[in-house]
Chain A
Amino acid sequence: MTAKTKTSKATPQKPKDNRVGPPSFWRRYVSQIGIVGVGLIMWLAFVIAAPEVFTNKNIYLAFAQTTPQFGIIAIALTFVVITGEMDLSFPSIMALGTAVFCLLAQGGLAWPLALVAAFGTGAICGWINGTLVAFLNIPSLVVTIGTSFLFRGLELVMMDGSGVPLTAQDYPEMHALLRSSPFGIPVQTIWMVVILIGAWLLLNRTRFGAHVFLVGDNPTSARLMGINAVSVKTRAFILVGIMATFSGLMTSIYGFYFWPTTGEGFLLNTIASVFLGGTSVFGGTGSVAGSFFASYIIGAINAGVVAAGINAFYTQLAFGLVIVVSVVLQTLIDRRTKRQSLTGR
């Protein structure tokens, strides 16, 4: 077996054409094709339901400004979900990180330093989540429900329940970075594309990314082969913390005001984007590009429901439906393509 010749001599009669090519395009990209399909169908439905709205380019501009607010978190959350965990605390981290920025900037600290402190806060929040989940092995749903209240409570105490105006006069650089439209393209979407590229490289072209898949697939196997599962999961949570802070800043600058309630209403659409994007609830598989496109679909549902004159309460219904249906579809597709039950039983 060590020598090549031995093997080939032992099996000279094995037919070469028995070896098939790579798995078909369809099988490899079935969930991505699914998302694009769902998106197109939904868009057509909206165009038919409210043509005057959906043929106007303004709605697409609005959409390109608001979708990244949760889309960038969805991209980061994809890492955590692939490791087989979940983070429910990011809405609170959005608020806590932004609160730190506002308090420091108000106190006279230069905005870049306040920004660093805000991201540091987000990273620490992520580190706390990750350590509790991975090091102490507590289920992430439980941990992050707890830290969600903890971070929100801390923020409310710090802000004493009141908000902070974030005008363009006071924060010209922040507005240029997070609310401008260079060449007519909303900067939020430019950020989202940049983050997608960075996240794609991180997930698919670094050891960390490779380990995210392996740890989510089978943590014991990963550990037996020398992968530090605790550190991998912790870093995934830290990524969410940092991106949640970024989103909190982007959202607040967009509204010219930091509300202590920042982040409320972000939970469902962000999680829906990750699952609709084809990332498996079971861990081990997923795609950041899927989350990216799914975010825009979720954003379209939001905009479309409102524009089509349907009661806005229906958006909740729609997001809930998207989560349930995409999770069920994922499971079914997975079973078909892998010819086995996903849980392996």
Chain B
Amino acid sequence: MTKATPPTGTPVIELRNVSKTFGEVRSLSNVDFAVYPGEIVGLLGDNGAGKSTLVKTVMGFHSPDPGGEIWFGGNRIDDWSVARARDLGIETIYQERALCEKQPIWRNMFMGREPRSKWGLLDVAKMRSESARLMSDHMGFTSAAVHPDNVVATMSGGEKQGVAITRALYFDANLVILDEPTVGLSLTETKKTLDFVGGIKKAGKSAIFIDHNIFHVYPVVDRLYVLDRGKVAGIYDKSEISMDELIERLYHVARTGSLD
């Protein structure tokens, strides 16, 4: 197995010896995974390799099987949960987008982190106006379906995705996880999303980027994890592998299940 020279410093988030079993299916086995401050980590692997499962474990949606550990900023955390992860500045664009389609955009935008005004009441006015601003400023949406009071169900697939992407960027996270964010997006929207990933690095923050299109992944990442059937099959520093070599190895992994 090829090992990259690990970046120095304390990882933002780290999984140690994490396995995840669903009944008979072992989606992750003994995975060690770390994201350091200011780096973009790419996650590659076939369909069903366990990428989304890994991401949901990082988010605290899945809890690891006994023996697995989650470390945040150098501390081991036992009661990891999505709410905790988001409080600590981790936001995710899930592959399934995690929207509530019968609800208006403003409810979706602030789902789980609703702003409150004095007396602890919901600041609905702010939720509405911020959603309107975000949708037009960040996504440049001008279609008829995009008003903060419109329900998500009536929006186009790309627009729905825009809500999920904008939502993740609104909270100014330290670590943004993007699970196949560009699937189904137009060329312009794809470019904006990739620019956004680049912007994360410039801002000194971290990201985990999953995309089956290696031409999207390779240019923006610093390090790459290759997952195969729930195992980490390889870790690469971008400096030590060219895109062509990487493609070659991915085919090899798909055929043989190992990188060597």
Contact = CB atoms under 8 A, between A and B. Distances in A.
Interface of A: 1-4, 6-8, 10-11, 14-16, 18-23, 28, 201, 204-207, 209-211, 213-214, 217-218, 220-228, 284-285, 338-340, 344
Contacts of B111: 210, 214, 221-222, 225, 227
17 contacts: A8-B137, A15-B142, A18-B143, A19-B144, A22-B149, A22-B150, A23-B149, A204-B124, A206-B120, A207-B116, A210-B107, A210-B110, A224-B82, A224-B92, A226-B85, A226-B113, A284-B102
Nearest to B189: A1
Given A221-B98, A225-B111, A19 B83 contact: no
Query: Main secondary structure on chain B at its contact with chain A?
Result: loop
B102 to A, nearest CB: 4
B101 A217 contact: yes
B254 to A, nearest CB: 29
Contacts of A213: 100, 103, 107
B100 A218 contact: yes
Contacts of B154: 338-340
Contacts of A338: 102, 151, 153-154
B196 A225 contact: no
Interface of B: 56, 59, 61, 81-83, 85-86, 92, 94, 96-103, 107, 110-114, 116, 120-122, 124, 136-140, 142-144, 146-151, 153-154, 169, 188, 192-193, 195-196, 199, 203
Contact of B140 (A8, A228, A339): A8
B173 to A, nearest CB: 12
B61 A214 contact: no
Given A7-B137, A207-B116, A226 B82 contact: yes
Contact of A7 (B139, B149, B151): B139
A217 B102 contact: yes
B122 A205 contact: yes
A201 B121 contact: yes
A8 B142 CA distance: 12
B121 A6 contact: no
A3 B203 CA distance: 12
